[in-house]
Structure 1
Amino acid sequence: MSSTLFTGGTIWTGDGDTDALLVTDGVVTATGRAAQRDDAQVVDLDGGFLMPSFGDGHAHPLYGGLEAVGPAVRACGSVDEIVTAVRRYADAHPDDEWIVGASYDGSLAPNGLFDARWLDAAVPDRPVVLRAWDYHTLWCNSAALQRAGITADTPDPPLGEIPHREDGSVLGTLREWGATDLMMRVMPARDEQVRIAALGTAADYYAARGVTWVQDAWVEPADVETYAAAARQDALRMRFNLALYADPRHFDEQVTQFAEQRRLAEAAGNELLTAHTVKFFADGVVENETGALLAPYCSGLHSHSGDNRGMRNWEGDALAEAACRVDELGLQIHIHAIGDAAVRQALDAIDEVVRRNGPRDRRPVIAHAQLVDDTDIDRFARLGVIPNMQPLWAQLDSLMTVLTIPRLGQERADRQYRIATLQRSGAALSFGSDWPVSSGAPLDGIAVAVSRRTADGEPEGGWTPQEILPVEQALSAYTAAVAAQAFAENRWGRMYPGAAADLVWLDRDPRRTAPLELPHVGVRATYLQGEPVYEADNGRAAS
């Protein structure tokens, strides 16, 4: 047996502090005085901080890894910078039939509306398709619109919108699945080895930030095949759980395939890969005015904005019926719900699942929960629903001030991301990043959770400070609570004898670090089952 003794720093097990941790063959075997063994290899923490590794309860790692394949537009701070990056990439890749990239900042153009002609100036002769940061929106050039057959006469499809210029011509921005699918169905598929490599890129990204488990919250059949192939090649390098996408337009066909997709993923025989979840989208996003609200939007994109309450993807009782069928398969329900109407619809659906299918340990998840009506707060705990929230979003950044608050109005905007309220209600709060929509670094999100301030420290005292979460609770929401969401609380998420040694070694104690300094806490190493998958000394993932 091979044993490693971690000592020389602060060790937070998730339940309390100790000064030593013994790991044998990838499993925690002892803590404190009982961990002392003369024959163990010693890792000197050098005054640092050892804790359970982070989990990400809602993200899109395959998409995140693929962002490295196309034009580098993520960091661009203007439309001109994006266009320059696309031109530079196209010039360097003259043989690429399509230029595909992600993910641009949707606040850089008025109302998030981007014109095809801006991309035409960079690449007039090949299709260009860029995803917005929200992954609910595409920006396309004219050649791409032509390939997809989208013209001024193309009607808005169900669950989608095609904005037009004042003269009636198609603008070049496509919103939500019904519209983006018109483009996606004519785009060439990525090479499978490129996709497998993208999963490796995602794993390296996460390992460098102390994350060893992620919920991929949007997986389609081709993605399941990619994950299964990577598992067979032993190329995953971290733990993944797949959430199979449930599309209201095709659900009756999809639901018959979920069991086989799960079997395909888990038949690879790699314990790092599971597929026990199904993902529903109840609505869109506030910034597109497609998040479903109980009261109308204040102003915005649409001529009918005076009575616009957003978009419900599942009409009537359809979400509840679909959720019941998924639950009957023994699969976990994971629902994207942004607006307060969508959150209520999601809670109603889970209420119907419990009533119809009876009690069991199902751990349903409502992701984002950006707006929750007062009357719905206590329903999370009562129904056993996990609110998986993205703490990084709870700040007054440009996205919030430019796109969100004008659509919600100040009073309603100040009731967003009620993280502490939900936690105090008894709900089993867990955290996620939604990477690559936003940073996948847990410490970035925790910094906002414990301060409600931007990186510049605004506003002093925090935005909606009543929702500030104590730091140890925030750490738990990104570790033990995610493990519980994953049905893995007996395997990882805390450090106790018998648990997998999934650990992260930080250069200082985040509990004693000023909130605005948390993003600068260094990750010295990340361990998966006791083996280093990232070491800061060489600045890269361990091989």
Structure 2
Amino acid sequence: MAGPMTVYINGNVLTVNTKQPRAQAFAVDSTGKFSSVGSNQDVLEASRDSQYQVIDLDGSFIMPGIHDAHTHLLAAAMQQLFEISIGEDCTHEDFAHELQEKCRCARAHDTDDWLIANFYSGNLFPNGEVDRKYLDEVFPSRPVVMRDPSCHNVLANTEALKRAQYDLLDEVAPFGGELARREDGTLTGELLEQANTKLWLNMPKTPTEVAQRAILVGIRMNNEYGITSCQEASANTVYLAALQELEKETKITCNIHTHIVYGPVGFARESEESLHKLIDEAERYKSEHVFTNFVKFWLDGAPLPPHFTQCKLQDGSPQANKLVLEKDFFMKGLTDADRKGYTCKIHCAGDGSARFALDALEAVREQNSDGPRHEIAHCNCVHPDDHARFAKLRVTAEMSPALFHLSELIAQSDNQLEWPFKSLLDAGAQVTIGTDWFLPPTPNMFPALAAVVPQIGVEKVIRCITLSGAEAVGQAHEVGSIEIGKKANFIQLDQDITRNEISGTIVHRTWFEGSLVWEHPDVEKREVARL
């Protein structure tokens, strides 16, 4: 992607390379890779036989591009483009009016008339009564779906339930799901965990061209916040088809590692049969910047009020009634993916599901000791007895959502949001950090990272979001640090985050494979002198 060789001098460069932790300058060759790293003099001398341009960094702090270990890039961008944000300060007195007003401004794609809103909680409804009747008053004939803050549970109005073929009286809850009911036995419209899968599967499919547009928005926002590599946690066929087209048009400026959903399928909005076929055919969607040897499983829900659908340990064993995948189905998918060499990301929101996953991974390792590295997603509640098992089983501890690392949220979590960064690192575990973007409004990781620094120090935090991320997806030979021969994915920040409080850090510029792909509008452009 890059042009002629470019030499960057007078920088404050954090390389995340233990052999050369800091540098003053580096050169990027015409293939978009680092060709030299060191002092101004050394880099200029190494480049003297080449035609090059010089960029004076004027003391700016430079580090490798960020790896977001857990994102829902397409879904998050669809939120930005087509969905409604209710607002944290909205109450039941004005929520119907606010929803109506925002609906008037909502943009739909194709002929889709469904309205999706984010996020609801009990305080939006009179007396805390979460019920479809309040949506029906405002939208009697338009299907409306509201997600709760965890995105695991939804409230649907009557029209949405009817279009999705729910029986308002006699609907039977599926395995891993629950249907909230009124006193007369009819559905309130609140569908918990796998009870809303039927809803998502019956909604209109996103056209590929719409997905392309949304993904470009998501990639641009990634670059804005310094992200040059990410792991998509809910990939489906539409997603991969859209990426394939964007790659042909050379529009992808972020490495995307696509965890294709095995089950449950609600987040993917695609049938189980179709998704399993996609996993079998994943290789044909692989490209220069899209990596498809990844699979996703959910084992439980979310540790958030009022439903607390995570699987906890009870007398040392996982709560079987809180698991959302049947064991035989999960083990088959995990074993098959491991045999193919695919990295599995397993959603675990409780210490019970984390232990269940580790037990399953231990059984898989016994069958295939040289299998690929796997991941447990979230790791917000892992029993201390299980910390050492991560390194032993070659399991990455992926810590997300980064938003929830903020101390005030942890304090309100009833011991359910306690990411054991230090203990896992001390036990030798591979640790990464993910935003879980579409829960937060942007993929900005810096405010949350500030909350982690006191636990493990800023240098380890930076490694978690750079080189550790690259190692977790098998790309450490290509990216993750500023080293000779690696792709030139790097960012310029407004401050040296190793020496200052980092919560308000702003990304000034982002480079992907040597090309500038983001520049903050307020940054003064530097003069480029050609030598």
Equivalent in 533, 536, 540 of residue 517 of structure 2:
533
Task: Describe the shift of the 1:75–1:511 C-alpha distance in structure 2 as closer, same or farther (beyond 3 A).
Answer: farther
SS state at 2:138 partner: coil
What SS does the corresponding residue of 1:334 show, helix, strand or coil?
A: strand
Equivalent pairs: percent with the same residue? 24
TM-score w.r.t. length of structure 2: 0.86
Q: Tell me the distance in 2 between the aligned counterparts of 1:24 and 1:74.
A: 48
Separation in 1, partners of 2:410, 2:369: 42
Kindly indicate whether residue 245 of structure 2 is the aligned counterpart of residue 240 of structure 1. no
Q: 1:145 maps to which residue? A: 161
Choose the corresponding residue for 1:59, options 64, 68, 71: 71
Q: 1-side partners of 2:378 and 2:507: how far apart?
A: 27
Equivalent in 13, 17, 23 of residue 18 of structure 1: 23
User: Bigger CA drift: 37-46 or 212-221?
Assistant: 37-46
Aligned-partner residue type, residue 26 of structure 2: L
For normalisation by structure 1, the TM-score amounts to 0.84
Residue type of the alignment partner of 2:7: L
Aligned to 1:458: none
Residue from 105, 112, 117 that aligns with 2:133: 117
1:509 and 1:126 mapped to 2: Cα distance?
A: 51
1:290 alignment counterpart: 309
2:497 pairs with 507, 510, 533, which one?
A: 510
The offset of 1:327, in angstroms, is 0.9
Report the counterpart of residue 462 of structure 1 in structure 2. Answer: none
Find the counterpart in structure 1 of residue 366 from structure 2. Answer: 355
Cα shift at 1:378: 0.5
| 8 Å CA contact 1:55, 1:478 repeated in 2 | yes
8 Å CA contact 2:175, 2:324 repeated in 1: no
Q: Which one of the candidate residues 80, 90, 95 is aligned to 2:103? A: 90
Alignment check: 8 A CA contact 1:5 1:43 kept: yes
For residues 360-387 of structure 1, the C-alpha deviation after alignment (integer angstroms, 9 at most, x for no partner) is 4x11111111111121110001111100
Q: Secondary structure at the match of 2:24?
A: strand
In the superposition, relative to structure 1, how do residues 68 and 93 fare at CA in structure 2: closer, same or farther (>3 Å)?
A: closer
> Residue 182 of structure 1 aligns with which residue?
198
Distance in 1 separating the partners of 2:234 and 2:86: 21
Residue 373 of structure 1 corresponds to which residue in structure 2? 383
Aligned residue runs from structure 1 range 313-462, under 5 A: 313-360=324-371, 362-390=372-400, 391-397=402-408, 401=412, 404-405=413-414, 412-413=415-416, 416-438=418-440, 439-451=442-454
Q: Is the 8 A contact 1:366 1:385 kept in 2?
A: yes
Aligned AA for 1:236?
I
Q: Which sections of structure 1, spanning at least 5 residues, go unmatched?
A: 297-306, 406-411, 452-467
Find the residue that maps to 1:280 and give its secondary structure. Answer: strand
SS in 1 for 2:460: helix
Amino acid at match of 1:523: V
SS at match of 1:161: strand
Q: Report deviation, 1:474.
A: 0.4
* 1:487-536 superposed Cα distances (whole Å, 9 cap, x missing partner): 0001010001001000010011011112xxx2321211000001011011
Alignment partner, residue 33 of structure 2: 27
CA distance in 2 between counterparts of 1:375 and 1:353 reads 20
Structure 1 residues 175 and 432: CA distance shift in structure 2, 3 A: same
Deviations 1:105-140 (A, max 9, x none): 547559997322332343222111133332212222
Q: Give the distance between the partners of 1:488 and 1:311, measured in 2 at CA.
A: 35
Checking the alignment, whether the CA contact within 8 Å between 1:73 and 1:82 is kept in structure 2 is no
Q: Distance in 2 between matches of 1:286 and 1:342?
A: 12
The aligned residue for residue 265 of structure 1 is 285
Report the residue type matching 1:264 in the other structure.
R
Greater mean alpha carbon deviation, residues 82-91 or residues 433-442: 82-91
8 Å CA contact retained: 2:405, 2:449:
no
Given the superposition, is the C-alpha separation of residues 537 and 316 from structure 1 closer, same or farther in structure 2, using an over 3 Å criterion?
closer
Q: CA deviation at 1:9?
A: 3.0
Q: Distance in 2 between matches of 1:255 and 1:185?
A: 15
Q: Which aligned pairs between 1:145-224 and structure 2 lie closer than 5 A?
A: 145-150=161-166, 151-176=168-193, 178-224=194-240
Question: What is the CA distance between 1:82 and its match in structure 2?
Answer: 5.1
How far the C-alpha of 1:400 sits from its partner, in A, is 6.2
Secondary structure at 2:246 match in 1: helix
Question: Alpha-carbon deviation of 1:233?
Answer: 3.3
- What CA distance in whole angstroms lies between the structure 2 residues aligned with 1:380 and 1:3? 42
Report the residue type matching 2:67 in the other structure: G
2:82 is the counterpart of 1:70: yes
SS where residue 237 of structure 1 aligns? coil
Q: Which stretch shifts more, 489-498 or 149-158?
A: 149-158
Residues 380 and 116 of structure 1, relative CA distance in 2, 3 Å threshold: same
State whether residues 102 and 132 of structure 1, in contact with CA within 8 Å, keep that contact through their aligned partners in structure 2: no
- The whole-number CA distance in structure 2 between the counterparts of 1:263 and 1:337 is 27
Letter in 2 for 1:103: N
Secondary structure of 2:243's match? Answer: helix
Tell me how far apart the structure 1 counterparts of residues 505 and 366 of structure 2 sit (CA, whole Å).
46
Distance 2:121 2:208 in 1: 29
- Give how far 1:163 is off: 0.9
Q: Is the 8 A contact 1:140 1:172 kept in 2?
A: yes
Q: 2: distance between equivalents of 1:504 and 1:193?
A: 30
Give the corresponding residue for 2:528.
none
Q: Distance in 1 between matches of 2:212 and 2:107?
A: 24
Is this contact kept in 2: 1:152–1:168, CA < 8 A?
Answer: yes
Deviations 1:404-460 (A, max 9, x none): 42xxxxxx44x7211111111100111111101134212122112124xxxxxxxxx
Offset at residue 238 of structure 1 (A): 1.6
Shift of 1:252: 8.1
Contact conserved, 1:8 with 1:47, CA < 8 A, in 2? yes
Equivalent residue, structure 2, for 1:101: 116
Q: Residues 523 and 97 (structure 1 numbering): CA distance in 2 closer, same or farther, change over 3 Å?
A: closer
Are 2:95 and 2:124, in contact at CA under 8 Å, matched by a contact in 1? no
Q: Relative to structure 1, is the Cα distance of residues 226 and 97 closer, same or farther in structure 2, using a 3 angstrom cutoff?
A: closer
Q: Secondary structure at the match of 1:421?
A: helix
Are 1:377 and 1:425, in contact at CA under 8 Å, matched by a contact in 2? yes
For 1:495, the aligned partner's letter is: I
Counterpart-to-counterpart distance in 2, 1:387 and 1:163? 34
> How big is the shift at 1:257?
4.5
Per-residue Cα deviation, 1:252-293 (whole angstroms, up to 9, x for no partner) = 885454221x12312xxx401110111111111122322111
Residues 115 and 171 of structure 1 are in contact (CA less than 8 Å); yes or no, is this contact kept in structure 2?
Answer: yes
Question: Do 1:320 and 1:352's aligned partners in 2 also have CA atoms closer than 8 Å?
Answer: no
CA contact (8 A) 2:115 2:142 kept: no
How far has the Cα of 1:70 moved from its partner?
2.4
String of CA shifts for 1:145-197, please: whole Å, max 9, x gaps: 22223303212122211212334332222111x32122122211223211110
More divergent stretch after superposition (98-107 vs 319-328) = 98-107
Give 1:75 deviation, angstroms: 4.2
What SS is found at the alignment partner of 1:5?
A: strand
Q: What is the rounded CA distance, in whole Å, between the counterparts of 1:308 and 1:196 in structure 2?
A: 40
CA contact (8 A) 2:68 2:465 kept: yes
Query: 28-37 vs 108-117, which deviates more?
Result: 108-117
Q: Determine the structure 1 residue equivalent to 2:297.
A: 280
Q: Tell me, yes or no, if the aligned pair for 1:320 and 1:348 is still in contact at 8 Å.
A: no
Letter in 2 for 1:433: T
For the Cα contact (< 8 Å) 2:406–2:448, is it kept in 1?
A: no
Amino acid of the residue matched to residue 312 of structure 2? L
